[in-house]
A and B are shown apart, each in its own frame.
Chain A
Amino acid sequence: MRAALIAVLALVLLAASAATDSPEPPPEAPEGVDYEAEPADSLDAGSVEVGFGATGRAGEGPRRSRRVRFSDRTFDGSVREGERDPLAGGTLETDAATGRLGVGRLSPRWGRGLVLGAAAEPWSRTASDRGAGARFRGRAGRGAWFRAGQDRTVETLYGRFGKADLAGAHARLGGLGAGLLARRRGGTQASVSLARGSAESELAMDRAGRWRAEGALERPLGRRKLAVRARGGLPGFQSLAEPRRSGPAQALAMELSDETEWLRARAIAALWRFRPGLSGARAALEVERRLAQHGSLALGFEEQHGARRESARPAGFRQGWWGEWRGGRPALGLTLRHEAWGERRFARGAVRTLTAAQVEARGPAGSYVRVTHCAFRVRSGESLYLPEASSDRLVLRAVTGAGRRTRIELRAPGAGGHIYAALSLATNAGGEARTGASRPQWTLDWTRRARTR
């Protein structure tokens, strides 16, 4: 079930990538290296999940990992342990007094996220890995928290975010929220937010008087839906908890979406400015036509200008297009995808191209064999991330240069749970080139989920 959910999340991410761009890690992650994320799937009360995994490359010893998750009426927790596992760590939460007390990883979101829990990209409306209901478990910090009241009316936390020790409290009354975050060695930020229906706004300010405000609104236009987000403030304002996620000081983003039984269309336009002289913009249009037998055809076009991150070198003008087709039968499915990005109009002057094919044969009891093959060409200085979903995580694999990557995955029931095995073969141009210079990478994982009562 978990692997299936992760696969679905990967597809969602792929779909999201088709809707906007190739997926990429959040700004706090270094560019050009692999990034791993943990899907935030839920566990039924009275269940426990145990997993053992190993991963490695040919010629290297395996790296083992273990994980346990459990959920009881009053006590929930998850622990991951493994050598050089970026997802290692744990979370424990239990009922205490009139609320919930927890220790472990922190990824809170207050209001629009100006102080805590900002979206990763300047054009995104909400963070996919911050706050309740996020698709991925974030790793903003580590510490302890206490939440009380229905739907977290009062929340207090203390933890280490990056190199800063922070303490904060947030309270909500109806749609009105107020919070205060303080750093141990000086620095305080206050947040006031208001949520009413599909409208949400937040004003944040620090002790120096630097401020930032954001409002987001979603309105139906007939059967279509319009979402608008506007942000303003001073460039000097930076989140105490996650300065790299502070995002642009000013931004304006709009998204118009339309969905019928057979067609889904989405148009995005966004402008932002981190500080004077460092701005960016993007516009994208995606149309997805659903086909018979769960198939679909998606086509998209996008244009970008300027900087996507405050810390990164502005990429300048980029134009790209992509197409993705899914089809086949439940037992045998095929996905073909092509995307091309260029530094000139009509995606000429290619900086990034990707052609991928995925075939999946499904069997009984959730078993499947999936083969994904892609060929890419990425110009120096550009980043391309290939999403790879395994049984317990989603890896954004950073690739560069010209090469090919093949991933063979197998999932089958075994030993009372599910066994997942994957083998990745990569070939990059240059050096030993075509004879498979990169060493094969493998993953083996066993997961079992059981009821405790």
Chain B
Amino acid sequence: MRRACVITGAAALPPGAAVVPGPVLLARLIAGVALVALAASHARAQDFSPPAPAGTPAGPLALIERGLPDTISGVRIEAATVRWFGLPDLATRALALGGGWRTVRGAVGISQTGDPELGWSAFGLALGVAEREGGAALRVVVRRDRRLGPALGSWRSSSGVGVEVGGGVCVAAGAGLRLWASAPQVWARGESPPLERPLEIGVAYGAHDATLWLSRGAPASDAAADHEAGLALRSGPLALWAAARDRPLRGGIGVAAGARGLVVRAAVESHPALGETVRLALGLGGAP
């Protein structure tokens, strides 16, 4: 895992350099351990991770993150921040603009994770189609190490830049059932993505204002398969959800509220060993 190596500092130091314990190295070590743990815990989210239930993806961030479009048309803007496992040095900030016209859905976004020395930036693009019976989308994410600087030319650098292409598809199966498959990393080139995200398949059942979902993430090269179960409840402008995942067993809750086109979402997921991951998002347009 390339980024873990970079962040642990070993690969960043010149040959023969003395390793002097200090705040920077300590921060690198903490961030590195956290990322390794993140990978080991088989997290499914990455640069554009919105606080939203897996069974009912909504918004431009979810479209870029998982390639699963929703049926809502119009222009939407969504900003989110994620603090992974309570580590301030390992925070993700993301901004996405999405739009829908007739059945076409699209989103574009930028994201930044970690500090300027160790973190990376990402640019995401997704395009797809959606209607009541189902939808599909392609997503592309380009990442670049932040240490390369803001120059546009650095995006063409062969080192520190990586790209991944994937997509998702969802189909309504009738009687409130909806099934989906998301494969965000079908093709990858350049620097390895920070996390391996294999195929995820899931099923959601919605009745009245409740949605129950189950999903399964295929085994990654270095981690076993994992599963998620969740329940989302909606009441007018409010939505609540709770989800549980295995390997290791953990859970999280989330809440969303909307008024006059403004949507606020928040979610907390607790990991037995790594601490809490907090997600916050603010959106214009759409529904909670």
Contact = CB atoms under 8 A, between A and B. Distances in A.
A436 B173 contact: no
Interface string A294-312: 0100000000000000000
Nearest to A377: B219
A45 B201 CA distance: 46
B153 interface: no
Given A336-B181, A355-B218, A434 B199 contact: no
Contacts of B199: 355-357, 373-375, 404
B185 interface: yes
Interface string B219-252: 1111001000000000000000000000000000
A134 interface: no
Nearest to B173: A327
Interface stretch (B6-14, B29-37, B85-93, B187-195): B187-195
B168 to A, nearest CB: 9
B136 interface: yes
Contact of B181 (A373, A376, A377): A373
Interface string A354-375: 0111010100000000010111
Contacts of B219: 353, 375, 377, 402
- Contact residues of B: prevailing secondary structure: strand
Interface string B239-278: 0000000000000000000000000000000000000000
Interface stretch (A185-193, A256-264, A425-433): A425-433
Interface centre among A353, A371, A373, A429 (most CB of B within 10 A): A373
A435 to B, nearest CB: 5
Contacts of A452: none
A435 B179 contact: no
B186 A329 contact: no
A293 B216 CA distance: 25
A292 interface: yes
Contacts of A373: 181, 183, 186, 199
Interface in A395-453: 402-404, 406, 425, 427, 429-430, 433-436
Given A328-B171, A375-B198, A434-B185, A353 B192 contact: no
- Contact residues of A: prevailing secondary structure: strand
A406 B186 contact: yes
A433 B221 contact: yes
Contacts, number: 101
Contacts of A434: 185, 188, 192-193, 196, 221
A325 interface: yes
A408 to B, nearest CB: 9
A348 to B, nearest CB: 12
B169 interface: yes
Interface string A331-357: 011101010000000000000010111
A377 B217 CA distance: 13
Nearest to A353: B219
B179 A355 contact: no
Interface in A379-396: none
Nearest to B182: A357
A355 B167 CA distance: 16
Contacts of B201: 336, 338, 355, 357
Contacts of A430: 221
A334 B221 contact: no
A218 to B, nearest CB: 35
B134 interface: yes
A291 interface: yes
Contact of A404 (B193, B198, B225): B198
Nearest to B167: A371
Given A332-B136, A353-B225, A373-B183, A435 B173 contact: no
Contacts of A402: 219-221
Interface string A243-262: 00000000000000000000
Contact of A327 (B179, B196, B220): B179
B171 to A, nearest CB: 4
Given A328-B171, A355-B216, A373-B183, A334 B188 contact: no
Contacts of A329: 133-134
Nearest to A440: B187
Contacts of A427: 188
Interface of B: 133-134, 136, 162, 167, 169-171, 173-174, 179, 181, 183, 185-193, 196, 198-199, 201, 203, 216, 218-222, 225
20 contacts: A291-B174, A327-B171, A327-B173, A332-B133, A332-B171, A334-B170, A338-B201, A353-B219, A373-B181, A373-B186, A375-B218, A403-B221, A404-B199, A406-B183, A433-B221, A434-B188, A434-B196, A435-B189, A436-B187, A436-B188
Given A295-B174, A429-B221, A435-B192, 13 more contacts: A334-B169, A334-B171, A334-B179, A353-B225, A355-B198, A357-B199, A402-B219, A404-B198, A434-B196, A434-B221, A435-B162, A436-B187, A436-B188
